[in-house]
Amino acid sequence: MGDRNRGLLDWLDQPSTERGLYYADSADGWDFWSYRDLAALVLRTAAALRAQGVGQGDVVALVLRSSPGFVAGFFGALAAGATPCSIPPPFAFQRADEYEKHASHLFATAAPRFTVCDDESLEQIRKVASGLGLQEPVAFDELVAGAEPLERPMPLPETALIQFTSGSSGFSRGVLISADALETNLAGMGQWLGCAPQYPAISWLPVHHDMGLVGFLLNVVVTGFDGWMMQPDDFIRSPLRYLRCISDQGAVMTAMPNFGLAYILRRVRPADLRELRFDSVRCVIIGAERVDQQVLEDFHALLGPHGLDRGALLPAYGSAEATLAV
């Protein structure tokens, strides 16, 4: 915190009861977590990590889907003085041996002192950790059960994040990102996008990817605006639900790779948008892969009649080595 602009943990000081994160549920609804509730969970997680022996500068691996637990794990690690590292959980239809080989590489690179994971991934991560001689992972709910909140956050670690590259040119590499670099990048993106707490945002991006983590989740939480969070498979099942949320909530910001736009074009018909409006959208950040100009034009042709401004489609370039935005 100190004199840093938009300190990573400043939001814990006076968290809002009115704003927070909305998580898509399986019944087409949303579960709301206020920033006050999230802050309390963060401090409980930090205390639980300290009780497990996690110390200043230790690495905490997070094998968690987008959830309140991920927010608590990430910021809880920072509040405990540790370095979070997000590792993708296994996804549906992925072969167990392929996942375990990939996860073993990531774990060997990060060398975590402690690992927190979802119940669903616990057995596979336990196998990976055992093969590398690492401490046995703990499920998030078990970790925080009965934990009292940490009275005050520890000093931020020198390395605030280990972010893995996409691995497009080979094995994924772990990039060490300092607290200063992360906060500076968040501040720069905020100025570019004109972020303000009254601007709702929505994302379906995975939180282990730098675009979903730094470009969206951290930006939303540190700035303190309402965020609607979908899982990638929620979007795949129903891109119309994602578009409906933008319209219903008057979302100002969202982000996705080019293939997300192309997927919407394949799955959504003009008639599906009859009741929807996109006048509120100020920025659709498009990155993580090559941007196809024709896809942009076709996407605007689909949503433009419902109020989407062509100038809101913002191709962007980023890399883990540069924290994100370049």
- Report yes or no on 13 lying in a domain: no
Q: What is the pLDDT of residue 300?
A: 97
Tens-place pLDDT, residues 60-112: 999 999 999 999 999 999 999 999 999 999 886 678 889 999 999 999 999 99
Q: Are residues 164 and 193 in the same domain?
A: no
Q: In what order do the strands lie in the sheet with 201-203?
A: 30-34, 20-24, 227-229, 201-203, 253-256, 283-286, 313-315
Domain boundary among 113, 143, 178: 178
- Report yes or no on 23 lying in a domain: no
Residue 302 has pLDDT above 60, yes or no: yes
- Report yes or no on 122 lying in a domain: yes
Residue 287 has pLDDT above 90, yes or no: no
Q: Higher pLDDT residue, 40 or 288?
A: 40
pLDDT category, 169, cuts 50, 70, 90? low
Q: What is the pLDDT of residue 26?
A: 87
pLDDT category, 325, cuts 50, 70, 90? very low
- Report yes or no on 22 lying in a domain: no
- Tokens 């303190």 map to which residue? 224
Q: Are residues 138 and 228 in the same domain?
A: no
Q: What is the pLDDT of residue 163?
A: 94
Angular region, 101: left φ>0, alpha ψ -120 to 50, beta rest: alpha
CB atoms within 10 A of CB 316: 19
Domain boundary among 178, 195, 226: 178
Q: Are residues 59 and 159 in the same domain?
A: yes
- The structural domain count of the chain equals 2
Q: Are residues 160 and 198 in the same domain?
A: no
Q: Please compute the mean of the pLDDT values over residues 166-182 and round it to a whole number.
A: 80
Residue 20 has pLDDT above 80, yes or no: yes
Q: Please compute the mean of the pLDDT values over residues 286-299 and round it to a whole number.
A: 90
State which residues form the domain around 228.
187-322
Residue 324 has pLDDT above 70, yes or no: no
Q: Are residues 120 and 154 in the same domain?
A: yes
Q: Please compute the mean of the pLDDT values over residues 290-297 and round it to a whole number.
A: 92
Q: Are residues 172 and 197 in the same domain?
A: no
CATH number of the domain within which 198 lies: 3.40.50.980
CB 59 within 8 A of CB 177: no
Q: Return the minimum-mean-pLDDT range out of 84-98, 223-237, 254-268.
A: 84-98
C-alpha span between 253 and 199 (Å, rounded)? 8
Q: Are residues 147 and 246 in the same domain?
A: no
Q: Please compute the mean of the pLDDT values over residues 119-130 and round it to a whole number.
A: 95
Q: Please compute the mean of the pLDDT values over residues 42-52 and round it to a whole number.
A: 98
Contacts (Cβ under 8 Å, ≥6 apart) of 131:
104
Q: Are residues 113 and 199 in the same domain?
A: no
Q: What is the pLDDT of residue 3?
A: 37
Domain boundary among 130, 148, 178: 178
Q: Are residues 173 and 100 in the same domain?
A: yes
Q: Measured over all CA atoms, what is the biggest interatomic distance in the chain, rounded to whole angstroms? A: 57
pLDDT category, 320, cuts 50, 70, 90? very low
C-alpha span between 283 and 219 (Å, rounded)? 14
- Report yes or no on 105 lying in a domain: yes
What six digits make up the tokens of 149?
């909140």
